[in-house]
Amino acid sequence: MSIDKDTVKHISKLARISLDEKKIDNLSKDLSSIMKFIEKLNKLSTDKTNPLTSIINASLKSRKDEVRDGKIRSQILKNSPEKNEEFFVVPKVIE
């Protein structure tokens, strides 16, 4: 399936990436060639196959439901581009 410019615009909106017209043009071309490559899979019948759910035959370990860390607010905020006291700051959401 080819990915036209409107589809690129739609998925870039879903992915929250702004794109200019030139980028949209290039991406439409690139993504179409990638999708063409991916669609080789259509030649293969998979009706009788179950999708893979885990690659290693090991059951996941469960752990005790207990607090193991915490009190690391300053660490969590440390790399924030903008913060105010104990909060992340973002552009105003509510008018």
What are the residues binding another protein (CB under 8 A)?
A: 3, 7-8, 11-12, 14-19, 23, 27, 30-31, 33-35, 37-41, 44, 46, 49-53, 55-58, 60-61, 63, 72, 75-76, 78-82, 88, 90-93
Shortest Å, Cβ 32 to another protein: 11
Shortest Å, Cβ 86 to another protein: 14
Classify the C-alpha dihedral 10-12-16-19 as positive or negative: negative
Contact between residue 28 and residue 1 where contact means Cβ atoms under 8 Å apart: no
Shortest Å, Cβ 93 to another protein: 5
Q: What is the DSSP string of 21-75?
A: HHHHHHHHHHHHHHHHHHGGGGGS--TT-PPP--SS--PPPP----------HHH
